[in-house]
Amino acid sequence: MLEGKILVTVGDSITYGADMDPAGIAPDGTLMTYGWQIAERNNMKFYNCGISGSTMQHIEGKPDCFSTEGGRYTQLPDEIDYLTIFFGWNDCAFGKLGTIDDKENTSYYGGFNVVMPYLIEKYPDARICLIVPFGCDEGHRDAVRLLANKWGVACFDMCGPGTPFFYTKEPSVNVDPWVVSFRRNMYQANGCHPGYKGHALMGRALEHFLRGI
């Protein structure tokens, strides 16, 4: 049950709610992101820990890397029931993928391998969920699937069959180009970030998924 639990969402500008259209901005200025919507429907305590431009891996010149030693992954709330981790766009654009065995936070794989044991140990009862990023290359999508399996946590696959999409699916799904264009215009604010409808689409699907883990 999600009712009354603590939800924390970490990630980049998508999680933060960048470029949100007016329909997704509350009167007090709150961005009604996918996480906010899940929490609102279920009377959850919610922390949005997304930061625009941030990455999972440490990249020189980018101050908001999640896996930086003593950084964001060590500064989350003391109590968490549900934790979603959603990185990829900036890592794909500015960093390197690495390999599943990387132990340093200078690659995408390595960043996850640094933070996951810490988070699992600090929040042993939390439901941790990695989110496969839409729009990134195949290597980064597969990395999240493999990392979720390696660390024994849940994986919400934005790009697989049966889940909503904003930008693309796996090539094998063969989504018709017309519907890709139509739904991009409907659900995305700028060709990258979801608008309010996009956050609502993702939020409903993710909420259903979280109820099952």
What are the DSSP calls for 112-169, one per residue? Answer: HHHHHHHHHHHSTTSEEEEEEPTTS-HHHHHHHHHHHHHHT-EEEETTSTTS--SS--
Where residue 169 falls among pLDDT bands split at 50, 70, 90? low
Q: Residues 132, 159: contact at Cβ < 8 Å?
A: yes
Structural domain that includes position 88: 6-211
Q: Does residue 1 belong to any structural domain of this protein?
A: no
Q: Does residue 73 belong to any structural domain of this protein?
A: yes
Q: Residues 111, 65: contact at Cβ < 8 Å?
A: yes
Q: Does residue 113 belong to any structural domain of this protein?
A: yes
Q: Does residue 126 belong to any structural domain of this protein?
A: yes
The average pLDDT across 23-38 equals 97
Q: Does residue 37 belong to any structural domain of this protein?
A: yes
Q: Residues 156, 163: contact at Cβ < 8 Å?
A: yes
Q: Does residue 169 belong to any structural domain of this protein?
A: yes
Structure confidence at residue 8 (pLDDT): 98
Q: DSSP characters for 113-129? A: HHHHHHHHHHSTTSEEE
Alpha carbon distance 136, 89 (integer Å): 6
The average pLDDT across 177-186 equals 82
123: CATH? 3.40.50.1110
The total of structural domains in the chain comes to 1
Q: Residues 213, 127: contact at Cβ < 8 Å?
A: yes
Extract the runs of DSSP E, i.e. beta strands, from the chain: 6-11, 45-50, 82-86, 127-132, 154-157
pTM of the model: 0.94
Q: Is the pLDDT of residue 89 over 80?
A: yes
Q: Residues 193, 187: contact at Cβ < 8 Å?
A: no
Q: Does residue 124 belong to any structural domain of this protein?
A: yes
